[in-house]
Amino acid sequence: MENKKYLEQTWRWYGPNDPVTLQDVKQAGATGIVSALHHIPHGEVWPLEDIQERKRIIEEAGLTWSVVESVPVHEAIKTRSAEAGEYIERYKKSLENLAACGIKTICYNFMPVLDWTRTQLDLIMKDGSKALYFDWIDLAIFDIYILKREDAAQDYSDEIQQLAQERFAGMSEADKTDLQFNVLMGIPGEADLSLESLQQSIDIYKNIGREGLKQNLLYFLGAIADTCEANGIKMTIHPDDPPYAILGLPRVVSNEEDLVYLITEQPKSFNGICFCTGSLGAGPKNNLPQILNKVKHRVYFAHLRNVKRDAIGSFYEADHLDGDVDMYAIVKGLSAENQTREVAIPFRPDHGHQMLDDINKVTNPGYSAIGRLRGLAELRGLELGIIRS
């Protein structure tokens, strides 16, 4: 078994201000770091000096900067506005600077306006730990009664509309404020966190539509293709989170059909996938082992987490080995693909419950230390068991 290759264990680190330190990461057993320069405004070039400084900090701690997550794609590119070309040139320069520092696996997403959406950040689990939660009823409340989007109600079943109406009637002003805060947390740094700004963006995408967004994604990939190929860069697109249209916004990276379309329409090998089991797993119709089998040759990075869905499709983030995602089948598939690679596929334990000593600490939602340490340990053991058996 000595000639078997193991996946690269990585850990998302938000930089020097992350309450989870690089020493914590080492003690968790990860060897690779997934990081980004969050202090650089969206759409600006990542300076070579800033990249080198972040790399120095990581390497002095005895770790490797394995993946960039993320170099954000500016809304001007997603909407293909008049400034799109200028923002693409800056994006290409950032990629060149990263490659010059030897960092060549880049994660990004192409979700309109919201990078991710949850309605609650502290759902109490049976064991007292806290998890992230997406509740269709709360989303309907936000959409219909707080955002007051035109014709919003028609996007929800009669059952959800009724439940939303009843729950909204009993909500305090603090409850409504909390819900609005949680949903708007998914808006990245380039926009203000206001309902007016969100509504303006929704109006823009109403005209673009799903087909238009798909074409804008292909336009972006086509524009950066030469830069990626010349510099040996692998782009890995993160699936939509959650993987369906919400708030009237189109989504184009949500299922097997979307992923196969993307790597077929842009067949160059730089165009890869970040296989996120949590995002894809929130889609009731998504068969994850089947999807992985179809796109495995383009998977250059993986996020491994689990979700548990209820009858109406709401979901919470479950323990890594306990949910609707068949994590055994996924890790087995990734491990088999990894044996064919010269360079190990990096994965990270994605999110984790807030638990034990982290319960009362302030951490990035989903990114406390102990829950991810538990997840990484479970995933590491699962991979070892698969390989040794």
Residues annotated as catalytic are: 238, 276, 303, 350-351, 367
List the one residue out of 161, 171, 297, 301 whose CA is nearest residue 236. Answer: 301
SS3 string of the chain? CCCCCCCEEEEECCCCCCCCCHHHHHHHCCCEEEECCCCCCCCCCCCHHHHHHHHHHHHHCCCEEEEEECCCCCHHHHCCCCCHHHHHHHHHHHHHHHHHCCCCEEEECCCCCCCCCCCEEEEECCCCCEEEEECHHHHHHHHHHHHCCCCHHHHCCHHHHHHHHHHHHCCCHHHHHHHHHHHHCCCCCCCCCCHHHHHHHHHHHHHHHHHHHHHHHHHHHHHHHHHHHHHCCEEEECCCCCCCCECCECCCCCCHHHHHHHHHHCCCCCEEEEEEHHHHHCCCCCCHHHHHHHHHHHEEEEEECEEEECCCCCEEEECCCCCCCCHHHHHHHHHHHHCCCCCCCEEEECCCCECHHHCCCCCCCCCCHHHHHHHHHHHHHHHHHHHHC
Rounded to an integer, what distance in angstroms lies between the CA atom of residue 180 and that of residue 288? 31
Asked if 327 and 320 count as a contact pair (C-beta separation under 8 A), the reply is: yes
- Strands 130-134, 315-318: pairing kind: antiparallel
Tokens of 294: 């179809």
